[in-house]
Structure formats: C-alpha cells, structure tokens
Amino acid sequence: MTSRFPRIPRLGLSLTLILLLGLAGCAVNPPAQPRSIAVTASEDATLRATLAMLAERGFVIRQADGDLRQIDAVLASRSGYEIHAEVTGGSQRPPGLVLQNGNTYLTLSGRRGGQPLDAVSLDPLFIDVQRRLGLLP
C-alpha cells in the first residue's frame, strides 16, 4: 500500500504547522496605556493614599517601593486584573496626563485578562485617591 503523499513533504508540512502554531503563541499583548493626573499633595502622601485606596478595594499589593514610589497590585477577587501605580514629582510631565493641578504626578496603568485597562476603568481610582487627599469636595 502506497501513500498518496511522499514522506518528506509530509514531514516538512508537519514541521511548518508546528512552527506556525509556536509563533502564534508568541503574540504580544498591547502595552498598558498609562493615564496620569497632577495633584497638589506631596509625593509621599499621594503614594500612601494610592496604597490605601488599592488595599481597601481588595487589591493584593505584590510590590510597594517607597524609594521608587511604585506600587504593583492584583485584584484578589478577579484573576488577571492588575494595576501599576507610580508617583513622581518635578517639571517632567508623565505620559497620559489628563489633569494638571499640581506638581505631584500619579500615573496608573493596568490590565484585565491581558488587555490594557481603558480610561473609564482607571478614572474611579483617580477620584478615590483625590478624595483621600482632600482635594475633592
């Protein structure tokens, strides 16, 4: 009994399919787009307010660095929901600045299910931090 397909081309086809499937697994998710606001509070107060806000909302703080002024957190109740927060100061404006109200910048970015969070998801977090800092009525 002979095969309709020669052995060598079938092997080449199999290797090509395996290679293509392997490359499909290398698809890169788009980077999380940062969104920033500027506040009149100090950098330390802004970092503490952000940390408290995330903890009260049920986030597990994976890393919080006071020297770098960065926080990485994941939401305990939802797998794949993560937030990165960074507090900076000075004259250099961070990316995604939407509110200029001082010289301390809070930048948030995040992912849900591997996809970047949009502004609608981040805005309530900014509002909560501003409220904690006493910047909202």
Q: Is residue 4 part of a domain?
A: no
Q: Which domain holds residue 108?
A: 35-132
Q: Is residue 25 part of a domain?
A: no
Q: Is residue 118 part of a domain?
A: yes
Q: Is residue 101 part of a domain?
A: yes
Per-residue pLDDT of the chain (137 residues; tens, 9 = 90+): 555 655 556 666 666 666 666 655 555 666 768 999 999 999 999 999 999 999 999 999 999 999 999 999 999 887 789 999 999 998 888 988 988 889 999 999 999 988 999 988 999 999 999 999 999 87
Entry pTM = 0.76
Region of residue 74 (phi > 0: left; psi between -120 and 50: alpha; otherwise: beta) = beta
Q: Is residue 53 part of a domain?
A: yes
pLDDT at 114: 85
Q: Is the dihedral of CA 82, 70, 98, 42 positive or negative?
A: positive
Q: Using CB atoms within 10 Å of the CB of residue 126, give its burial: 0 to 12 exposed, 13 to 18 middle, 19+ buried.
A: buried
**Total length of the chain:** 137
- Which CATH number do you get for residue 106? 3.30.310
Q: Is residue 6 part of a domain?
A: no
pLDDT at 11: 62
pLDDT at 99: 83
Number of domains in the chain: 1
Q: Is residue 23 part of a domain?
A: no
Q: Which residues contact 58 (CB under 8 A, 6 or more apart)?
A: 75, 76, 77
Q: Is the dihedral of CA 107, 94, 46, 51 positive or negative?
A: positive
pLDDT at 33: 80
